[in-house]
């Protein structure tokens, strides 16, 4: 193989590898954001059931569990942790989507 062909082949592989790396980076960012959000939901659910973080520590799920007893008297004890959890999960998903749009030039 001549030297010019070898250089052209290496350049083509480099460009293809770069394109593949950009596509994979977008997928990894989306998967990481989804995994973080899913982990937050699972941890809150387990803590709500009483199987997660134990009483000296605080968790949004345990705050929801403790506040459900006082729902008729003080509904903010349930609404505030629920809203914080929802906003946090939404924020993580929006940051992941924004990073994907920034990293992946092929989107729109």
What is the average per-residue pLDDT within 40-63? 87
What domain range includes position 80? 26-103
Q: Please check whether residue 6 lies inside any domain of the structure.
A: no
What is the average per-residue pLDDT within 76-81? 90
Q: Please check whether residue 14 lies inside any domain of the structure.
A: no
Give the count of domains, the chain.
1
**Chain-wide mean pLDDT for the chain?**
82
Predicted pLDDT of residue 86 = 94
Q: Please check whether residue 108 lies inside any domain of the structure.
A: no
Give the integer Cα–Cα distance in Å for 94 and 66. 29
Q: Please check whether residue 57 lies inside any domain of the structure.
A: yes
Q: Residues of the chain with pLDDT > 70: what percent?
A: 75
Give the integer Cα–Cα distance in Å for 5 and 93. 45
Give the integer Cα–Cα distance in Å for 57 and 94. 28
Query: Which comes out higher in pLDDT, residue 63 or 25?
Result: 63
Distance of CA 11 to the CA centre of its chain: 35
The answer on pLDDT for 47 being more than 80 is yes
What tokens appear for 87 in the block? 């906003």
Q: Please check whether residue 3 lies inside any domain of the structure.
A: no
């Amino acid at each position: 193989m001549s030297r010019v062909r070898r250089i052209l082949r290496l350049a083509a592989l480099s460009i293809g590898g770069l394109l593949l790396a950009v596509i994979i980076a977008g997928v990894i960012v989306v998967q990481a954001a989804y995994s973080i959000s899913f982990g937050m939901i699972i941890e809150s659910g387990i803590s709500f059931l009483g199987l997660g973080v134990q009483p000296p520590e605080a968790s949004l799920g345990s705050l929801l569990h403790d506040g459900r007893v006082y729902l008729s008297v003080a509904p903010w004890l349930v609404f505030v942790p629920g809203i914080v959890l929802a906003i946090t999960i939404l924020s993580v998903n929006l940051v992941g989507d924004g990073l994907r749009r920034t990293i992946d030039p092929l989107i729109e």
